[in-house]
Amino acid sequence: METKTLGRTGLEVTRLGLGLAEISRREQAGKEVEDATRVVNLALDSGINFLDTAACYATTEELIGSAVGHRRDEFTLASKCGHAVDTSAEPWTAEVIAESVDRSLRRLQTDRLDILQLHSCNLDVLKRGEVIEAVVEARDRGKTRFIGYSGDNEAAIWAAESGIFDTLQTSFNLVDQGARKKLLGAARASDMGIIVKRPVGNGVWGRSESPYRYADEYFRRAKIMEEMGPVPGAPSTPILLATGFLFAHDVDTAIAGTHNPAHLTGNIEMVENDLPISAEAVEELHRRFDAVGQEWPGLT
């Protein structure tokens, strides 16, 4: 699988990464460990080498540690911190971050993270500085190799322009294109690695109804853009259109989330065999977003 250098980290990561929030959200209780073990090992066996999780994703970190802790040297591991988890302490404090990092290391069965990301805190929290000092301390103590910011809009732009962070994780897809106006360029100017979350917009394009409650805003946007008619040069499937749109831009890796091995295999085959899509389709999606989405914020 094709790799890119993740900004100034120097890490070589596959363009398709695996977002792991979904592996703890199983409808069939009792199969979480079995299913997580299957899908995460399949990702590694298929060549994916970038895994992304967070301290607040339920039992996800524990599932990853159980599934592939013994394969730790085969992948780049990113997690997030800042929310108060298993504690009554205030979020976005140095205390919470220090406790969160140690908890993540235990649960992930590792002695270090590759990337520790602040998890979508707002601009005021960033400017206050306490959380930045906490992740820098974690790096200085060897608990993470690099630090990053995960978020959108004005806080993400501040993080990109600050020169503090090694990586940026942000929302970017065919119905959430605000990052291409300023944010992606600011991140590149700072030599940050760029990690994209929600790369296919929660699969809303071409749907007759919103697939998830939290995707309702993306679904609303998609309906507005789709009402402009067929997209010239679009590929045969909506998911390929969304994936091709994303990878037409200068990003390093995109974290596609799934707990379904068949979906994972399909994503890998699509990225390896069906890209790029036509420039005409990409340009048309730019035009539509610019016509109706100028005020649409990035979704955190």
pLDDT tens for each residue of 139-168: 999 999 999 999 999 999 999 999 999 999
| CA distance linking residue 85 with residue 116, whole number of Å | 16
Question: Any idea where the domains of the chain sit in the sequence?
Answer: 11-204+247-277
Calculated CA dihedral for residues 184, 187, 193, 198, nearest 10 degrees: -40
Q: What class has domain 11-204+247-277?
A: alpha beta
pLDDT tens-digit profile of 251-269? 999 999 988 999 999 999 9
The answer to whether the CB of 259 falls within 8 A of the CB of 34 is no
- Pairing between β-strand 12-14 and β-strand 3-5 as defined by DSSP bridges: antiparallel
Question: Which of 87-91, 99-103, 211-215 bottoms out in mean pLDDT, i.e. has the lowest?
Answer: 87-91
Q: What type of residue sits at position 231?
A: V
- Average pLDDT over every residue of 107-130: 97
Active site residue 57: yes
Q: Is the dihedral of CA 297, 244, 182, 288 positive or negative?
A: negative
Q: Which of the following is catalytic: 57, 149, 212, 214? A: 57
Which residue do the tokens 């853009």 mark? 225
Task: Write out the two tokens for 254.
Answer: 């995109």
